[in-house]
Amino acid sequence: MAENILFAHRFDEVSGSAIREIFKIIAQPGMISFAGGNPSANALPDELVSQIAQNVLQSDGKRILQYGATEGYPPFVDCLKVYLRNHLNLTPETVLPVTGSTQAMDLLCKALIDPGDRIIVENPSFLGNLQCMRLYQAELVPVDSDENGLLPGSLEQLVIQTKPKMIYTIPTFQNPTGKSLPVDRRKAIADIANRYHVVVAEDDPYRDLRYSGSELPSIQSFDQNGWVVYLGSFSKVISPGLRVGFMAGNENILRKCTIGKQSTDVHTANLNQAIVDQFIRQDLLPGHVKKICENYKIQCKAMLAELESFPEGVRFTRPEGGLFIWVELPEDMIAKELLQKAIENKVAFVPGTHFYVDGGHENTLRLNFSNSSVEQIQIGMRTLSKLIYN
């Protein structure tokens, strides 16, 4: 069989998402999973989407089923601009609907990254997008953080030293740490981007999942000359299965992304864009997000309450929103070993090492609370606590 195929060098250091392999192992009945980043089943508006799908196909079916423009389904593009202005106080030059915000990252790399180009990333950061950057053979340069996220002073030094093509950040309820960047740091990042002419990819899928504290302006809102590209997603507030996100920013950059998208998937499926379009136009999002957040807030609180009574030496973040809590075990503990024992006891999570650019940090782990009931959270967390004690 075709076993002696030479694959492209971009795969030399990429073997597939470690998380996705864990997912296969833990897909057992009775498993309490803190591993994924999935919305709760209750948060998925299946009846609404069913109604909307039927309506848009009845009212605009011929256009929806025909080839669309790479630039997006026209009503949705219009709607996104209004949404960004009203909801985020953003008025970007251009908006491009994409097939999930993962595609936005892929297109940005396609537009900007030659092999060996540097991208500055938070460390730890979102595994899926780290893999994306590695497939473009970028050199990932980690920037220092404290309890509030990346440090603009360190960022500026790194920008001067390494002349990166891009800075990748998840400023709000970061994956995997749950941290949110304070407003002054957001402004500082935009300033650095504009001063040194580096593109910032501001990946902001969790923004609307806020359970306490007050809303923070986006990095892009401080952008002066189009160096910040905002990546948005409807995966966490409507449905990840629909694969609809968007990118917003400078026309010049988004034009290259659009050309890249022509040969990636021609255009994002019109039906999916039309469904999200109606969700926004019918003003269904605020009520739906409020309902989701009420539940996630209770789940988050329940998990934090359990963590408070964890053995001494266990540290954890206290996010104001999002889907994740980040845990640091005592330095001599290894999260992968804990996971082995946890799985035997029907509890799962993701070891933190996978989120670091160079691995290590074996004592860290990521917990997701959105996909478990309060009862499951209590049972699962108490199991973890016991396993850490012993």
Cβ at position 372, least distance to a second copy in Å = 15
70 sits near a second copy (criterion: CB under 8 A): yes
Give CA separation, 389 vs 66, 133, 314, in Å.
Answer: 60, 38, 11
Cβ at position 110, least distance to a second copy in Å = 7
| Among positions 225, 282, 309, 340, the unique one binding a second copy when judged by CB under 8 A | 225
Instruction: Compute the C-alpha angle 83/244/239, nearest 5°.
Output: 95
**Site for a second copy, residues 228 to 247, rule: CB under 8 A:** 235, 238-243
Cβ at position 10, least distance to a second copy in Å = 7
100 sits near a second copy (criterion: CB under 8 A): yes
94 sits near a second copy (criterion: CB under 8 A): no
Asked whether the beta carbons of 257 and 72 are under 8 A apart, the reply is no
8 sits near a second copy (criterion: CB under 8 A): yes
**Site for a second copy, residues 298 to 317, rule: CB under 8 A:** none
Cβ at position 142, least distance to a second copy in Å = 19
Rounded-to-integer distance, Cα 332 and Cα 316, Å: 16
270 sits near a second copy (criterion: CB under 8 A): yes
DSSP 225: S
Rounded-to-integer distance, Cα 265 and Cα 268, Å: 7
Residue 11 vs 157, nearer CB to a second copy: 11
Cβ at position 65, least distance to a second copy in Å = 4
**Site for a second copy, residues 26 to 65, rule: CB under 8 A:** 36, 38-39, 41, 44-47, 49-50, 53-54, 57-58, 61-65
Sheet architecture: strand order including 350-351: 315-316, 324-328, 364-368, 350-351
Rounded-to-integer distance, Cα 159 and Cα 163, Å: 5
Asked whether the beta carbons of 281 and 79 are under 8 A apart, the reply is yes
Rounded-to-integer distance, Cα 152 and Cα 145, Å: 9
| Piece of 99-107, 149-157, 175-183, 184-192 that binds a second copy (CB under 8 A) | 99-107
Cβ at position 80, least distance to a second copy in Å = 18
